[in-house]
Structure 1
Amino acid sequence: MMSKPKIALQLWSIKEDLAADFAGTLKKVKESGYDGVEFAGYNELSAHEVRELLVANELEAAASHIPFEKLTEDLTGVMAFEKTIGNSRIVCPWLSFEDYAQWKAAFVKLDEIGKTLQENGFSFYYHNHAHEFQQVAGVDLLHYMTAHTSYVKLEVDLYWLAQAGVTVAEWLKDHETKIGLLHFKDLTADRRESTEIGHGILPMKDYLTFAKDQQLPWLIIEQEAFQDYLPLEAAKIDCQNLTALRDEVYA
């Protein structure tokens, strides 16, 4: 029987709670049912302090979002920090350029970063939004990136893929060899913003079937907008609902 993937929370979802009480909020994340977390900053804690909090709460570091500027300016420091906290997956969370040539140059740099990371025991990912399909007219920049890099995988944000207007199932299939992580985030019926998993219109079971076929190790939840619940409440609902769907798909 195939083992089920673990479920992590992208901590950007609860950034205000973390800013107020990082340690206490991580405890609540564990109590909500999560196996791990994906970092989006460390609230000025040291790597050893972060590691101690993970151990104390029996949480794993599923991945970390590290800004492009930090990756280019201090990759050695990034690797040292991530090794200390027990993380092996590094994600570039955002790029934006108006000029196609600038995008191409950035992808060359991403591949150089990815090569160094791989040589040091890490895997490297780029996390998409919708603008990668829109910023350069007629060009799917993510497709270009996958075709012209060897050391960069995709952390596909399924919500933003849907918001970009592409046929998600076909796009995932066409790029499956490059996809290493998924962001699970549901979309409100009016297609305006994110919502709790199971409360929106995206076909989460189909996405889980893709994750199963690709044997992805983690399912990462993210939510950026909140209609009826506070972020920590929403995060608990997200975990409960995705866990139930995962258990159904992986039965």
Structure 2
Amino acid sequence: MTYKRRTFLKTTAVASAAIAAMPSLMASVVKPSTKIGVQLYTVRNEMSSDPKGTLEKIARIGYQKLEGAGYDAGKIYGFSGKEFRSIVSDLGMELTSGHMSSQVFAEGFDQALEFMVDAGQQYAVFPWLSPEQRVSLDQYKGYAATLSKCAEKAKSAGITVCYHNHDFEFQELDGELPMNILLSETDPEMVKIELDLYWITRAGLDPIQFFKDNSGRVPMWHVKDIANTPERGFAEVGTGTIDFQSIFAEKKTSGMKHFFVEQDQSENPLKSIELSYKNLTEKILG
């Protein structure tokens, strides 16, 4: 499906009341039938200083799935794939997915595959392009070729390759939207999309329409809210303007299998992901 710059229905809802009080990290939370994931980039500073202690706190909140953001040369947060798998398994969690740099996809994917197999990781996600990496459509064609090549390698290991969006993929470049290139020049059965609900909404598009246009090709989501402020910054899930109930109602259309809470910026990341978890379980998932 090709996207044009036209008016899209924005998924917005009435903003909720201000946060009255943050829940305690020591509280025991009942895990719902739906396994909720968290993107560890949210707690990147905590993972850097105390990875095991931070993982214990994440498990205590109730999260059962993790998406990594610290892979480097065969390790994550200083642990091998087998070591990390053992640590999170003992806490009742799994490393479902991981963001790996464009350089890893281009030059270090074979080593990354070994790590993913050892870690039990099911998805490899191409996460971000710096400004100089996205100045031409030919660059995006190159990324599509890289994604396709890596997807072929990953298939034999039972691992799925995904592309994670921001807003710039939905901004015209030489008269075309880069997302069109990534979608049209890759096999929809081989290369999937991890849709960031915040960024696609910030770009002025409707995530539900994206699901319909790419049915079954969006197995993972980033779930994060847009603050009800002029700046429209990052907010805890359920405290902002995105209508998550409507979006989750279309999970079959999307083909969604996993979703991860993420908040790029927060004064207290652990409290933020706990509030997001609470709102998901009590207000959104039902």
Instruction: Give yes or no for TM over 0.5.
Output: yes
- 1:135 and 1:232 map into 2 onto residues whose CA distance is 36
The answer to whether the 8 A contact 2:102-2:128 is kept is: yes
Cα distance, 1:237 vs structure 2: 0.7
Counterpart code for 2:65: G
> What do the CA deviations read for 1:60-118 (whole angstroms, capped 9, x no partner)?
11201111211221222111111111111111101332011111122111111111111
- 2:171 and 2:255 map into 1 onto residues whose CA distance is 30
> What do the CA deviations read for 1:28-81 (whole angstroms, capped 9, x no partner)?
001011011100012222222211211221101120111121122122211111
Counterpart code for 2:52: A
> What is the percent sequence identity of the aligned residues?
27
Aligned 1:161-200 pairs, distance under 5 A: 161-190=200-229, 191-200=231-240
The answer to whether the 8 A contact 1:36-1:61 is kept is: yes
Q: 2:158 aligns with which of 104, 113, 121?
A: 121
TM-score normalised according to structure 2 size: 0.80
Please name the residue that 1:220 is paired with: 260
Cα distance, 1:214 vs structure 2: 4.1
SS in 1 for 2:77: coil
Q: Is residue 142 from structure 1 mapped to residue 179 from structure 2 by the alignment?
A: yes
Q: Is residue 153 from structure 1 mapped to residue 192 from structure 2 by the alignment?
A: yes
Larger radius of gyration between Structure 1 and Structure 2: 2
SS in 1 for 2:248: helix
Q: Is residue 240 from structure 1 mapped to residue 278 from structure 2 by the alignment?
A: yes
Q: 1:7 aligns with which of 19, 22, 36?
A: 36
Gaps of 5+ in 1: none
- 1:22 and 1:162 map into 2 onto residues whose CA distance is 32
Q: Is residue 99 from structure 1 mapped to residue 136 from structure 2 by the alignment?
A: yes
Q: 1:29 aligns with which of 49, 52, 58?
A: 58
SS in 2 for 1:177: coil
The answer to whether the 8 A contact 2:215-2:253 is kept is: no
The more displaced of 215-224 and 194-203 is 215-224
Cα distance, 1:183 vs structure 2: 0.7
SS in 1 for 2:211: helix
Q: 1:70 aligns with which of 81, 104, 111?
A: 104
Please, what is the CA RMSD of the aligned residues?
1.8
Number of aligned pairs? Answer: 244
- 2:43 and 2:153 map into 1 onto residues whose CA distance is 31
- 1:212 and 1:237 map into 2 onto residues whose CA distance is 26
- 2:191 and 2:276 map into 1 onto residues whose CA distance is 28
Query: Could you say if the C-alpha distance between residues 38 and 66 of structure 1 is closer, same or farther in structure 2, counting changes exceeding 3 Å?
Result: same
Counterpart code for 1:87: Q
Cα distance, 1:234 vs structure 2: 0.5
The answer to whether the 8 A contact 1:51-1:84 is kept is: yes
